[in-house]
Homo-oligomer: A and B are copies of this chain.
Amino acid sequence: MISIKTGSRTQMIDITDQVRRVVEGSGIQNGLVHVCSLHTTGAVTINENADPAVPTDILNTINKIVPWDDQYRHIEGNSAAHIKVSLFGPSEMVALENGSLVLGTWQSIFSASLTVRGTGKSM
């Protein structure tokens, strides 16, 4: 099990290298790697990171689809993050062949921390 610390704001963090190191350290050669969030406001997704504008576009769009404020009943104020997690999903599976993660050329694994709106603004 890997533990990854994420910052306090909404962000997508490329964790591919961290996952790769854990897998290589395990000595396991073939199987399926389960990359999961244990938080209900954090998701895991796989997408392009060659251009960091891609994760930016993903976050900007999901923030439009699921507005921060929308007469939510949950009083903690983070319903938007919960909803986004159910849309992205809390985990991804990645195949492992001969000790290497089976990812396409442009695929990176992201941990999406979805709790806090805006940059450096706490709720």
Contact = CB atoms under 8 A, between A and B. Distances in A.
Copies of chain A in the complex: 3
Nearest to A50: B40
B95 A83 contact: no
Contact of A61 (B47, B83, B104): B83
Interface string A97-109: 1000011101100
A86 B47 contact: yes
Interface of A is mostly: mixed
A123 interface: no
Contacts of A88: 86-87, 89
Given A58-B79, A64-B70, 9 more contacts: A34-B95, A40-B46, A40-B104, A46-B85, A46-B90, A58-B82, A58-B86, A62-B86, A87-B88
